Chains A and B, each alone.
Chain A
């Protein structure tokens, strides 16, 4: 009870000096607000990254014909990647689950009745479903038999189905890809947006053999998708595949690769982009403002101890122990940082939400950031409050009353 009464004295002193209290609080408010925003943006970015990585496949490695550093779509007319490459990877690289070669053609003209659609057509083997963990919701998947018989069947994404058939059931209907007629065999599960920003669900999938011989008329493939058994090995396996393809394609530096390899890890790196560096910079900024805020707080408290020498002397004369005076000043400093923390968190939330609206990027407000803010407030309050509180407590009542 006595402790509580003395804490109240500290709170009263703060309430009596509102402007001074605000100045003491300012640094904490800015620091905590910055911290909250950083955490919110960081979590938002991470969420975006995870979404991208999940869309790509956490265990996946993609090999694309054609060089280039960007994660670009396969270029037309690149003939370097062949089914034999996929066969070599399957037989020579350890730790691999599925190897699924496929051929992609962008801007293929398709139509059903009077509805037309320019879209991506993918010609795939039977194990493509497993490699993408992407199956049909209605109808049947592409099978090995479809490939051996060069069947003219296709699967539609949900968007391509609605583009071509509206709300009508597409299964069993015919569509035309180029000049070739296909029967819709199944509808693919919705998968959202690809790491490159186009819609997975607007694709059309046909058997690999049918695609190569009847539609695209080519003896090469554009991609190989490989999935690994253990995602921790993904980077070493990607490296091994690169070496194997170097050998097979007779590539030695300084000649550029005629293929590109991307793994889930590369996708994550790309999605994070510069936000990683930016986050560290902002964290440093938040830390700095908390530090500066703490130093300001300590200085104002030290000045206040000087100004309130008589008050402290009086309290000592009336029976306050050194501990009581220490306690009161520590309560003052802690109250300042805790109030600053609450105000800073609220400010940070407001800024985060505004930022999310303005930039259309995801921002996640988490309890972790609030817990971290409480932690920082307590640490700053105690760390920078102890010295002034000790100085106040050490004043001799006789000197203080003069």
Chain B
């Protein structure tokens, strides 16, 4: 599904050239749940931008669903993002003045074909993340965890090829974070391809495969023998809360 071949990214400021990604290659297959890890400054964000077709590499090849994105122009990349990628951001990035439902429907506005059942789809997506009762709430009426779940529903509304999450738990308390991880694991079980970008080992260990970046290169690419199970962690937290 995703093939990266010697991806390079060099930022040029005047005459100073700063290489950030120095030849990154890996493949991700459909249905995989991959965490990309690395400390800040390792090129993690840059790689995420390239994976999300928000930015182009300065070298190498990136094929997404057999489409070579390197040769696409800005407009084609926009359509590609709309159709193939569902974003979840650390800052949620919801529209303040729109209801949860309208936020979830936002990507459909930019779709080539607006589905006739857009409303129902958005309602279904919100129900799937446990917000059936909160559809007409605005972001400031929702908790951080709920806002992030709205963002996840928004990412899934177009049924994208990959779900790309950038530090999705970074702005959440541990319980809300674990809830988000539980949703991701459930989506993975349902066959969704997920790429999770994080600096946090505890978060990364929920995935099935971890790619560690170091100094703009892949330092480690391993399968997780025993992924952490968010559902049971959540149950444990709830237990603690219930205990007197």
Whether A associates with B in a native complex is yes
Residues of chain A having any CB pair with chain B under 8 Å = 1-2, 5-6, 8-9, 12, 16-17, 310-311, 313-324, 396-398, 401
- Check A315 against B110 for contact (C-beta < 8 Å): yes
The 7 A-B residue pairs with the shortest CB-CB distance, nearest first, are A319-B82, A319-B110, A16-B97, A321-B78, A318-B107, A314-B93, A5-B109
B55 at the interface (CB under 8 A from A): yes
- CB contact under 8 A between A319 and B93, given known A2-B112, A9-B109: no
- Check B75 against A321 for contact (C-beta < 8 Å): yes
- Check A321 against B79 for contact (C-beta < 8 Å): yes
Bound-state Cα–Cα, A311 to B93, Å: 7
Tally A-B pairs: CB < 8 A: 72
Cβ-defined partner of A398 (8 Å) among B49, B106, B107, B114: B49
When each residue 87-111 of chain B gets 1 if its CB lies under 8 Å from chain A and 0 otherwise, what string results? 1010101010110000000110111
- Check A318 against B114 for contact (C-beta < 8 Å): no
**With contacts A316-B81, A319-B111, A398-B55 known, what are 18 further pairs, Cβ within 8 A?**
A2-B109, A2-B110, A8-B109, A16-B98, A310-B91, A310-B93, A313-B93, A314-B93, A317-B52, A318-B107, A319-B78, A321-B74, A321-B78, A324-B78, A324-B110, A398-B49, A401-B89, A401-B93
Within 8 A of A (CB), among B51-104: 52, 54-55, 74-75, 78-79, 81-83, 87, 89, 91, 93, 95, 97-98
Q: Which residue of A lies closest to B154 (CB)?
A: A318
- Check B106 against A318 for contact (C-beta < 8 Å): yes
- Check A318 against B112 for contact (C-beta < 8 Å): no
Bound-state Cα–Cα, A17 to B91, Å: 22
Q: Which residue of B lies closest to A400 (CB)?
A: B54
Q: Which residue of A lies closest to B105 (CB)?
A: A5
Give the distance to chain B from A374, nearest Cβ to Cβ, in Å. 28
Give the distance to chain A from B44, nearest Cβ to Cβ, in Å. 14
Bound-state Cα–Cα, A311 to B98, Å: 12
Give the distance to chain B from A18, nearest Cβ to Cβ, in Å. 11
Q: Which residue of B lies closest to A1 (CB)?
A: B114
Give the distance to chain B from A212, nearest Cβ to Cβ, in Å. 88
Bound-state Cα–Cα, A315 to B158, Å: 14
Give the distance to chain A from B75, nearest Cβ to Cβ, in Å. 5
Within 8 A of A (CB), among B135-183: 154, 158
Q: Would you list 17 pairs from A and B whose C-beta atoms are within 8 A, ordered by A residue?
A: A1-B114, A6-B109, A310-B93, A314-B93, A315-B106, A315-B110, A316-B54, A317-B87, A318-B81, A319-B79, A319-B107, A319-B111, A320-B78, A321-B75, A321-B79, A396-B55, A401-B89
- Check A311 against B95 for contact (C-beta < 8 Å): yes
Cβ-defined partner of A316 (8 Å) among B78, B97, B114, B158: B78
- Check A317 against B110 for contact (C-beta < 8 Å): no
- Check A397 against B93 for contact (C-beta < 8 Å): no
Residues of A contacting B78 with CB < 8 Å?
316, 319-322, 324
Bound-state Cα–Cα, A287 to B49, Å: 48
Bound-state Cα–Cα, A8 to B109, Å: 10
Cβ-defined partner of A319 (8 Å) among B49, B83, B97: B83
Q: Which residue of A lies closest to B111 (CB)?
A: A319
- Check A319 against B81 for contact (C-beta < 8 Å): yes
Give the distance to chain B from A146, nearest Cβ to Cβ, in Å. 87
Cβ-defined partner of A320 (8 Å) among B55, B89, B110, B158: B110
Q: Which residue of B lies closest to A314 (CB)?
A: B93
Give the distance to chain A from B20, nearest Cβ to Cβ, in Å. 12
- Check B75 against A323 for contact (C-beta < 8 Å): yes
Bound-state Cα–Cα, A313 to B106, Å: 13
- Check B54 against A317 for contact (C-beta < 8 Å): yes
Residues of A contacting B91 with CB < 8 Å?
310
- CB contact under 8 A between A317 and B55, given known A310-B93, A398-B49: no
- CB contact under 8 A between A318 and B75, given known A398-B49, A398-B55: no
Bound-state Cα–Cα, A287 to B182, Å: 62
Residues of B contacting A12 with CB < 8 Å?
98
Bound-state Cα–Cα, A295 to B26, Å: 52
Q: Which residue of B lies closest to A324 (CB)?
A: B110
Give the distance to chain B from A304, nearest Cβ to Cβ, in Å. 13
Bound-state Cα–Cα, A396 to B55, Å: 9
- CB contact under 8 A between A318 and B87, given known A1-B114, A397-B54, A398-B49: yes
- Check A5 against B81 for contact (C-beta < 8 Å): no
Q: Which residue of A lies closest to B83 (CB)?
A: A319
Give the distance to chain B from A318, nearest Cβ to Cβ, in Å. 4
> Which of B55, B78, B106, B112: most chain A CB closer than 10 A?
B78
Q: Which residue of A lies closest to B151 (CB)?
A: A314
Residues of B contacting A311 with CB < 8 Å?
95
Bound-state Cα–Cα, A5 to B114, Å: 9
Bound-state Cα–Cα, A72 to B112, Å: 77
> Which of A313, A317, A396: most chain B CB closer than 10 A?
A317
- Check B55 against A318 for contact (C-beta < 8 Å): no
